[in-house]
Structure 1
């Protein structure tokens, strides 16, 4: 018994000494501690556009499988709300279908960058019981006059003239538009301003405009639901929402006036064409960037980027520490590369390689308290 006690008394100090020796061993500078041990759980908080929500929500699930220490929390509240929360720094990143205006850029406490995350198109979705299938033909000016309230019935002569094979009813048209500040509204009203002088003069373009007529609904989801539940209505939603909810949508006349183009991934790609080769730097103004009303026989006329918004120096936001900054850069670099594989099945156009390369250059310029974060970027496997 005595020997046992002596052994215990001797062993205990030896164990303590051993722990101290291990703790005192310096880890060589060229050996990196595995991330799983070095970092804890991180939640990346974002808010904004409803336009890319189905894609971002898919990313949330996929990214967590590959990076279980990172959670993505994205609130689909509309581009206007996303810009406000990004400006107020209550989220780690914003999302908007409309690029920041000069006024919005000047309201920021530090320089922000635009990162195109995907490309989509806005469609005119309708609910005409007598025309249950897609394919109603509309021109830009006719669409503008419907949303101005100047064309009030579905059997208006202008609509009948370009749809001679359809049995259009003598029913009042109910217009559905967004209730919230919306990048989808920005894209749609920008298009209407391009094709209709009356619209441009009377209403104009913006994330929120004084709608001349119609009923309001929040988000792409709200507009889609309102159109589906309101006979003889028409609204505008992102193509992905029309496809997933199986809503009929119009074929729009192209810029050249020689074809009525169905909104598809292919016709949206046609609209993008070579228009992505002269993009501004990430930290510059993107206000004049537009994919709308692109030339070409099979170019769908309402195509647009959707953007992620980040501060160039991520320490600008006091809620972002260096660990979160590195995880944010890692996630965004994944989203614009590997994450694009989910685009087509959800109704979005994958980013062309020229845009991916452009985005990667922007990410290389991001810092945390002046220190580059480029070593946190990932490239596709």
Structure 2
């Protein structure tokens, strides 16, 4: 069935309503004191809403340290990648890295840097319900086969599924896990930034899905864990070993520790055996060459994102600090970006 799009009437608080433009001015040097003199430089970027809450904080920090203006549009991974492919942004953000064929098609070359990581929560709005879902139950909810919370041990309340209406790396990672959990999903709706959902209403961005969930008692959907606020709760999900876990920092870190990113820093695991099972790194896409006079600003911006000061902010905002070996590899890859 076609997904109906819902236009949310409310934005999330605490700095997470980023559906529009993030435009932040800054001055200084990376992670250090102020940069005196010189003119400000603008960087244009677009992409994933998944890490937008953390990016907002980082860009605000840079505003007080760097003479750089970062205009980041939280439009979803799909739209961000399209702008990157068209060459209309200086960098893009995506929760799904480019595959080898997509990367080869970028004439200027591409360097993909993991900047943070997080868990995709199965968020729901039903007070008094302590939801624990097997992998089969989770799939059946999004297939439209489980229609009432009563079937899950909670009160008699019809389920309203909420999904992403836009092309999304969050959707890719969520459906990738559903496909790993169940052959019926793998051979049915499948995996993608957009899929033909069997049930549900659609909303744009993590912000839109969370706002729709907050407005609708009995709703359930998928969002980056940082968006589980207010009346929303996160379900415990069984991992491959059969252990139930919620999307907190400890269980997400446990799962991420099992993922081998590989030499190109783009690896993933849709069904880890430990910790919370729906976790992902999220990437920034940079042009390997042709950056011209913007190269110093790009390198300073991304060097700050990979700094200890920036990474240590992740847990308080619902994200996961990158493991030290990943940071080391990402810094080496950033050094290979050229003018």
Give the TM-score normalised by structure 1.
Answer: 0.77
How many Å apart are 1:124 and its aligned residue? Answer: 0.5
1:292 to 2:270 alignment: yes
Matched with 2:279 is 303
Could you tell me which residue of structure 2 aligns to residue 84 of structure 1? 82
- Equivalent residue number for residue 271 of structure 1: 255
What are the Cα deviations for residues 60-83 of structure 1, in whole angstroms up to 9, with x where unaligned? Answer: 11011111x111111100000110
User: Secondary structure of 2:98's partner?
Assistant: coil
TM-score (norm 2): 0.86
Deviation at 1:245, TM superposition (A): 4.2
2:263 is the alignment partner of 1:280: yes
What is the distance in 1 between the residues matched to 2:128 and 2:338?
57
The reply to whether residue 253 of structure 1 matches residue 238 of structure 2 is yes
Contact 2:117–2:282 (CA<8 Å) still a contact in 1? yes
Equivalent residue number for residue 332 of structure 1: 302
Whole-angstrom distance in 1 between the partners of 2:167 and 2:325: 30
Tell me the distance in 2 between the aligned counterparts of 1:350 and 1:207.
25
**Which residue of 2 is the match for residue 190 of structure 1?**
176
Q: Quote how far apart the aligned CAs of 1:106 are.
A: 4.0
Alignment check: 8 A CA contact 1:54 1:346 kept: yes
| Distance in 2, Cα, partners of 1:116 & 1:291 | 15
> Alpha-carbon deviations, 1:293-339, whole Å to 9, x = none?
2123xx110110000000111x1xxxx432x2111011101101131
Preserved contact between residue 127 and residue 231 of structure 2 (Cα < 8 Å): no
Give matches, 1:1-381, under 5 Å.
Answer: 36-37=36-37, 39-67=38-66, 69-131=67-129, 135-156=130-151, 159-160=152-153, 168-242=154-228, 244-245=229-230, 247-257=232-242, 259-276=243-260, 279-281=262-264, 286=266, 289-296=267-274, 299-313=275-289, 315=290, 320-322=291-293, 324-337=294-307, 338-368=309-339
Cα shift readout 1:325-376 (whole Å, capped 9, x = no counterpart): 11101110110113112111101111111000000110121111xxxxxxxx
CA-based RMSD of the aligned residues comes to 1.7
How many pairs were matched up? 305
After superposition, the Cα gap between the structure-2 partners of 1:329 and 1:245, relative to the gap in structure 1 and judged at 3 Å, is farther
Is the helix fraction higher in 1 or 2? 1
In structure 1, distance between residues paired with 2:62 and 2:99: 31
Unaligned runs of 5+ in 1: 1-33, 161-167, 369-381
Q: 2: CA distance between counterparts of 1:291 and 1:350?
A: 18
> SS where residue 311 of structure 2 aligns?
helix
Unpaired stretches in structure 2, ≥5 consecutive residues: 1-33
